[in-house]
Amino acid sequence: MGEVFAGRYELVDPIGRGGTGAVWRTWDHRRRRYVAAKVLRQRDAHSLLRFVREQALRIDHPHVLAPTGWAADDDQVLFTMDLVAGGSLVHLVGDYGPLPPWYVCLLLDQLLSGLAAVHAEHVVHRDIKPANILLEATGRGRPRLRLSDFGIALRLGEPRLTDTGLVVGTPGYFAPEQLLGAEPDFAADLFSTGLVALHLLQGARPDAKALVEHFAAQGTPAAPKGVPEALWQVVATLLQPDPSARFRTATGARKALAAAAELLPAPGPDEDPIEIFDQLGPLPPGFGPDGPLRRGPAVTSLPGPVPAPGSLPDPFSGLDPGPGPGTGPTPAPAPAPAPVPHEGPLVPPPARSEVSTVPYTAQDPRAHAPAPRRSRRGAPRRRRPGPPARVALPLLLLALACYAVGFWALARM
């Protein structure tokens, strides 16, 4: 089984990697479901402060993938979010190339809807790109998009964690004003959204620098081949080099997109459907759809009697009990050689008994862990929920130090 954080989150297999950590498919023992967990890779004060900011972001919106919980164990920390299995827009374009305009309208509308919710919380995403836009595995049904990765997002008014003039984000998706050192603003997110829309329409990453130069020298370029003029006008407004010439809000852009979508032709009956399928792959050995598999040793390998009826859960009833005393009112399925008689009751060795029964009788979510060691008095030592005091106190002090560094940097600006 995988590593368990704080007795709750069991790491299953890695599904992605970012600049500050790896993303794992994880089993949540408390909620009894799979989630995605981002495990912090760097543990310096700078990275920890970014982690604190990202995990504190709570935006409840169907097209936003924000953190839902966090945990710390020893020297590692993680936060969790919903598990999205359909891959990103990068996978979609890689599978189908340029997407139909009507389909791009659906995706762009959902992206602008999620972005409006983010901006309503006074948060600038600062890293909108196809790889950070995930898709639910909806098959051939209506797509469902989720805006993710708020690792460098910034709430307006908070101190920046980078030096003034240093640009953060992904090259090729910067707004022109970002390259000039302007403060993060909503308009920069809208420019990146326009680049994402053009990527979907063309099936390839657009040349942002050449596009800005064309705008500056010759004005708005003509619509690319295959892109309806009504849709292009919306995308071109998002791509204006001058922030004041773009839509003022994501909601305003969404309204213009809805008007343009009404002018687009409906998809033809012969048009190939677009399918968004599961990109995560099968679960590794030892895990099933309902969580970790609890497999104990066969009962036939144990000497002595089988535990009394009702002491084992239902999964055990499917195993062959082998010869021995009956496990219930049902008669033995076939005759077996007579057991060797013993004087007195048959009692299995304690160690073998614990191995066979702990996986089935333990009710704690950490049931897969080894049986707790017993103290000299014979009572099991129980660990309190959450991180131990020797871990929680240093983390608290480190977080306070990070906030102090942030306010000190703000005072010097």
Contact 260, 231 (CB under 8 A): yes
Torsion angle of C-alpha atoms 171, 176, 177, 180, degrees rounded to 10: 70
Q: Give dist(CA 342, CA 268) in Å, integer.
A: 81
Contact 124, 115 (CB under 8 A): no
Q: Give dist(CA 209, CA 222) in Å, integer.
A: 17
User: Phi, psi (5° rounding) for residue 9?
Assistant: -100, 115
Q: Give dist(CA 84, CA 146) in Å, integer.
A: 8
- Angle of helix 250-261 relative to helix 229-238, nearest 10 degrees, comes to 170
Q: Is 38 labelled a binding residue?
A: yes
Contact 101, 53 (CB under 8 A): no
Query: Could you confirm whether 127 is annotated as catalytic?
Result: yes
Q: Which is the catalytic residue, given 73, 127, 149, 189?
A: 127
Provide the 3-class DSSP secondary structure of residue 124: strand
Beta strands in 289-406, from DSSP E residues, in sequence order = 291-292
Residue environment code for 49-68, b if the CB has 16+ CB neighbours within 10 A, otherwise e: bbbbbbbebebebebbbbbb
The annotated binding site for ATP is made up of 38
Catalytic residues: 127
Which residues contribute to the annotated binding site? 38
